[in-house]
Amino acid sequence: MSRIIRPPAIEELPALSALCFRSKAVWGYDSDFMEACRGELSIDPSDLRYTSIAVAEQDGGLAGVAQIKVTGSDADLLKLFVEPAVLRSGIGRALFAWAADLATSQGADRLLIEADPDAAPFYRRMGARDVGLAPSGSIPGRTLPKLVKDLCSIS
Ligand SMILES: CC(C)(COP(=O)(O)OP(=O)(O)OC[C@H]1O[C@@H](n2cnc3c(N)ncnc32)[C@H](O)[C@@H]1OP(=O)(O)O)[C@@H](O)C(=O)NCCC(=O)NCCS
């Protein structure tokens, strides 16, 4: 098994958006809910300019994607999605480590996460702590667990 974490090519963005959609659907949401989330689950060419994105490639195929945006001392984890067929094989951990390392190297001291409720235990496992609830960007009235991972500075 070979795995690398690398930047995406612009031509891969439609496939990565589809991966995010398939990945989100693993929690059993209905099609109306999924359609309401489609915008938030897409990656556009402008995202390559304004955010940082990494792809996990495993045995030559796309296995996951993560996206962060660093603003001053805060970094936002905008996406972290693993291909359903390869869940629970360490890809989420590898992409989360990429996100935390890059955020640290860009000067952030915390990584903010608005988690899917079913993904929150994964983030706790990664050392994040609960700090409350955040409104969903896709579904009016829905709230999501908000977590923070404290980052070590590398000064
Ligand atoms: C959440 C997600 C990214 C985790 O990715 P993954 O590749 O399956 O996770 P890993 O295999 O790297 O797991 C790392 C550790 O977290 C644990 N873990 C993973 N998912 C978990 C979950 N849903 N609940 C509890 N623990 C979980 C693993 O057991 C493992 O523990 P270990 O250190 O004892 O071995 C993945 O489930 C996913 O993409 N879900 C669908 C999309 C989604 O909701 N993304 C998050 C949006 S906020």
Instruction: Answer yes or no: are the C-beta atoms of 56 and 94 closer than 8 Å.
Output: yes
Mutate-to-test residue for ligand 1 from 23, 58, 122, highest number of ligand atoms within 8 A of CB: 122
Per-residue pLDDT of the chain (155 residues; tens, 9 = 90+): 899 999 999 999 999 999 999 999 999 999 999 999 999 999 999 999 999 999 999 999 999 999 999 999 999 999 999 999 999 999 999 999 999 999 999 999 999 999 999 999 999 999 999 999 999 988 899 999 999 999 985 54
Q: Which residue has the CA at smallest separation from atom 14 of ligand 1?
A: 93
Let me know if residue 131 belongs to a domain.
no
Let me know if residue 100 belongs to a domain.
yes
Mutate-to-test residue for ligand 1 from 24, 88, 96, 114, highest number of ligand atoms within 8 A of CB: 88
Let me know if residue 23 belongs to a domain.
yes
What is the CATH number for 85? 3.40.630.30
How many Å lie between the centroid of ligand 1 and the Cα of residue 125? Answer: 8
How many Å lie between the centroid of ligand 1 and the Cα of residue 56? Answer: 14
Please tell me the total count of domains within the chain: 1
Let me know if residue 41 belongs to a domain.
yes
CA 132/CA 49 separation, integer angstroms: 30
How many Å lie between the centroid of ligand 1 and the Cα of residue 155? Answer: 30
What is the phi/psi pair of residue 146, to 5°?
-110, 130
Structural domain containing residue 87: 3-111
Fill in the amino acid letter for 84.
P
Let me know if residue 118 belongs to a domain.
no
Cα radius of gyration rounded to whole Å, the chain: 15
pLDDT at 56: 98
List pocket residues of ligand 1, CB cut-off 6 Å: 23-24, 26, 80-82, 87-93, 115-116, 118-119, 121-122, 125
Q: Which residue has the CA at smallest separation from atom 45 of ligand 1?
A: 81
Let me know if residue 117 belongs to a domain.
no
Let me know if residue 31 belongs to a domain.
yes
Q: Is the pTM of this model over 0.85?
A: yes
Let me know if residue 116 belongs to a domain.
no
Instruction: Answer yes or no: are the C-beta atoms of 150 and 113 closer than 8 Å.
Output: no
Contacts of 9 (CB under 8 A, 6+ apart): none
